[in-house]
Amino acid sequence: MHREIAKGVYYVGVDDHHTELFENLWALPHGVSYNSYLIVDEKVALIECVKEPWSAEWLANIREIVDPSKIDYVIINHMEPDHTGALPDLAKVAKKAVMVYTYKASDMQKSFYNVPLREKIVEDLEELSLGSRTLRFIHAQFLHWPETMMTYDTQECVLFSCDAFGSFGALNGSHFDDEIDMRMVESESRRYLSAIITSYLKFIRQGIAKIKGLNLELKLVAPSHGPIYRRNPMWIVDHYLEWSSPDLEKNCIIIYGSMYGFTYRIAMMLKKQLAELGVEVKTHNVSYSEMSRIITDTMRAGVIVFGSPTYDAFPFPRIQTVIDEMETKRFAKRPIGLFGTYGWGGGGIKKLQEQLEGLGFSILDPVISVHGQPTPQEVGNCRRLAQVIADLIR
């Protein structure tokens, strides 16, 4: 089903309730939307395609408004296949359409699909007239890939922002921010940013500065995933700015693994000690917390604490996975606390310390490595660590 979202601008996107993991990595408990927009003017422009399995539904949405053979331009803001997988199906029925994208997108398009459509490569801030209105293309490198751009409708003041300002969560017919539970949008958009764009935080800030510098009037912010913002288009822009800030929050996160409960009990003891010292603290058990939620809560946490049993003389494998994510997502350096337990040889915490120091993180003293149950002295060390963390956060 289509919906007119501004004069001559139609939502023709689709909901995905079937994919369990976005990018085959990140949980989608509420689904996700692939947003696509059709502008009907003297010329007809389609902004963004959808993921391949949804091409039939998407083309049916378009046919409710125009015959796809009438499409003059396909504006491709981003080449990732959740935005372009249906392009080959479109090319079969929109044979006169010209693909409009950046130079880098052209290269990717040829290697991904090589569809037999003409192309128009646009420079940063280049404009394209559709008749009564003009589109302006704003290059937005690394939001989310290097070829990405946004598109701005200068007549209706709609910013088609691509992955930027996007959110997980299907729309279920409620396309606007004033039709959706914004508590869920806040949670799902922050999780989306943390999982998908954390590696490129400085590009978020640069992109927002660029948009503000262009003094664009924003009546609608229309991203490629999640709701369209019309009640307060700056709500999502300001939240993205806050979530991408390099400033750390005054809190602590404990990320732990536990096979038989020994490490868990120390995690809970440390959590209680921190809470008694007035520290805001969250915990994640790596065996049960979904990775995108761990990343979301850890990204800007003031202090990170890892708790790990020794597993075959190494750290608990799923703790290792979190550290790998922190490295690839270029987490800001900050103090890290370490505690752990072992049943016989030990060594996991020492390896964790060496690895984290090698990555440039500072390790808080004391490091706690316990054989089985903690001795009274080790309980005291745990209290000392809590005090060090509380002092840091204050």
| Binding residues for ligand FEO (CB under 6 A) | 78, 80, 82-83, 144, 163, 224-225
Nearest CB to ligand FEO, comparing residues 41 and 80: 80
Smallest distance, Å, CB 332 to ligand FEO?
A: 22
Q: Which helix (H) or strand (E) holds 270?
A: helix 262-276
Smallest distance, Å, CB 109 to ligand FEO?
A: 15
- φ, ψ of residue 265 to 5 degrees: the values are -65, -35
Smallest distance, Å, CB 192 to ligand FEO?
A: 9
Smallest distance, Å, CB 252 to ligand FEO?
A: 31
Smallest distance, Å, CB 57 to ligand FEO?
A: 18
Nearest CB to ligand FEO, comparing residues 83 and 136: 83
Nearest CB to ligand FEO, comparing residues 112 and 311: 112
How far apart (Å, rounded) are the C-alpha atoms in residues 378 and 79?
Answer: 53
How far apart (Å, rounded) are the C-alpha atoms in residues 119 and 111?
Answer: 14
Smallest distance, Å, CB 235 to ligand FEO?
A: 20
CB neighbour list of residue 288: distance below 8 Å, 6 or more residues apart: none
Q: Which residue has the tokens 């300001």?
A: 238
Nearest CB to ligand FEO, comparing residues 43 and 144: 144
Nearest CB to ligand FEO, comparing residues 41 and 325: 325
DSSP code per residue over 273-339: HHHHTT--EEEEETTTS-HHHHHHHHTT-SEEEEEEEEETTEE-HHHHHHHHHHHHTTPPP-EEEEE
- φ, ψ of residue 233 to 5 degrees: the values are -60, -25
CB neighbour list of residue 314: distance below 8 Å, 6 or more residues apart: 320, 347, 348, 351
Smallest distance, Å, CB 328 to ligand FEO?
A: 16
Nearest CB to ligand FEO, comparing residues 250 and 330: 330
How far apart (Å, rounded) are the C-alpha atoms in residues 44 and 66?
Answer: 9
Other Cβ atoms within 10 Å of 168 Cβ, number: 27
